[in-house]
Amino acid sequence: MKILVLNCGSSSIKYQLLDLNGEENLLAKGLLERIGINNSELIHKAAGKEKYKIVQDVPDHTVGINLILKVLTSKEYGVIHTVNEIQAVGHRVAHGGEHFKKSTLVDKKVKQGIEECIELAPLHNPANLKGIMSMEKLIPGIPQVAVFDTSFHQTMPAYSYLYGLPYSLYEKYKVRRYGFHGTSHKYVAQKACNILDLDFEKIKIVTCHLGNGASVAAIKNGKSLDTSMGFTPVDGLIMGTRCGSIDPGAILYLAKKEHLNLEGVNKLINKESGMVGISGISSDMRDLEDAAKKGNERAKLALDMFNFRVVKHIGAYSAAMGGIDLIVFTGGIGENSSFVRKEVCSKLGFIGVDFDYDKNEGLRGKDAIITKPDSKTKVMVITTNEELVIARDTYNIVNGKL
Ligand code: AMP
């Protein structure tokens, strides 16, 4: 069964076309980046063929998906003749609120549910929904499955997921911590355990999914105990354009001073803050690392703030779990930035990390252990593969096995 997996982020679309038939074969994959910026870049790789790169402006996600389908069916770089060969589509969906505790087949009600969650994830759910709608138009009647970023964290206990607000507001509006990147946190933690021959169900893990959106999770005995994102993906770490944890009192103060309405506050905390807000240069880690190397003080400050918060969360989660056995880095930054991993891990000797600076240096996009052999707490880089988990769920749901 040929399954197209779409992972529509705020400014990127990752895709994979997989053939699942007892075996799991990757036919093609690609990444479209810088959507809505300029000089968007699509890198497409079909199995057994050369990498193919297109640079052109892609103003929005619909145009992006069209471009991806064109490449998949192109004579030279494609792997299928027509889009009708695609039998199902799996979508990563950021926020399922309390509606969705597991992956589900998309119908009118599910689309409505995803739409209702837009205010909870204003950067992602609209992109996810656009992906679903575009596919409906392009291949009418195709089965589509939504895999939610929130479901892995549904194991969090109430003392972890509740905010210190009146309990009645949780009952009335379900305002609570949900967490995101669940598919990724679970996948990389399990994969690291497999590589290290550790029992996922019996150890204490902190997974760091560091990308444009970033979150850290505490996984104890195979279950998510806590995670840095909350009711929405704006909480926790400092991100590309999001502010992360902030005193709610500061928001009230700023709203008054700057005469911001709700929309203005939303824009401030989701789009104008984080690394771009601090540096005044870019939300992109590569740009910031380059600028810092050239001596830009604000870029350096943004990087210090980012790394400091990652360290703080790892420390806090070690305490919350009563210890730590394994730390996993993933996501665009976690997989590729030796600088961030070094800055974070060099501060973790106190929880048993004996960091291997040589193994870390220059390591990009590959699974590897980056601690010395006798390190009490192991650290790994694992390339995330949310697409594979989504394809598996899609296959199982469409075939009535889940
Ligand atoms: P993601 O949202 O997971 O796709 O991650 C995007 C982030 O990863 C952006 O901030 C990129 O700058 C960052 N990134 C990608 N490659 C590198 C690299 N080689 N060094 C540092 N950061 C990188």
Give yes or no for residue 59 having a pLDDT over 80: yes
Between strands 41-46 and 23-33, the pairing is antiparallel
Q: Which two tokens stand for residue 97?
A: 């609120």
Instruction: Give the pLDDT of residue 122.
Output: 77
> What are the pLDDT digits (tens) for 118-164?
877 777 899 899 889 988 988 899 999 999 999 999 999 999 999 99
Averaged pLDDT, 33-60: 93
Ranges of H-type helices in 197-247: none
Axis crossing angle, helix 386-398 with helix 182-196, rounded to the nearest 10: 110
122 pocket-lining for ligand 1 (C-beta < 6 Å): no
Averaged pLDDT, 239-265: 98
The answer to whether 189 and 221 are in contact (CB under 8 A) is no
Residue 210 Cα, ligand 1 centroid: separation in angstroms? Answer: 8
Residue 398's pLDDT band, with cuts at 50, 70 and 90, is: very high
Domains recognised in the chain with CATH numbers: 2-148 (3.30.420.40), 198-381 (3.30.420.40)
Residue 85 Cα, ligand 1 centroid: separation in angstroms? Answer: 33
| Interacting residues of 266 by C-beta distance below 8 A, sequence separation 6+ | 122
The answer to whether 182 and 390 are in contact (CB under 8 A) is no
The answer to whether 394 and 3 are in contact (CB under 8 A) is yes
Averaged pLDDT, 387-392: 92
Ranges of H-type helices in 84-196: 108-116, 125-138, 158-161, 167-173, 182-196
275 pocket-lining for ligand 1 (C-beta < 6 Å): no
Enumerate the β-bridge partners of residue 204: 220
392 residue type, one letter: R
Instruction: Give the pLDDT of residue 37.
Output: 85
Among 19, 60, 149, 235, which one carries the catalytic annotation?
A: 149
Of 82, 77, 79, 63, nearest to 25 by C-alpha is 79
Ranges of H-type helices in 322-385: 331-336, 338-345, 357-360
Mark whether 354 is an active-site residue: no
285 pocket-lining for ligand 1 (C-beta < 6 Å): yes
Average pLDDT, the chain: 95
> In this structure, which residue's CA is closest to atom 23 in ligand 1?
333
For tokens 């001073």, name the residue. Answer: 257
The answer to whether 239 and 213 are in contact (CB under 8 A) is yes
> In this structure, which residue's CA is closest to atom 4 in ligand 1?
332
Averaged pLDDT, 6-25: 91
335 pocket-lining for ligand 1 (C-beta < 6 Å): no
325 residue type, one letter: D
- pTM of the full structure: 0.85
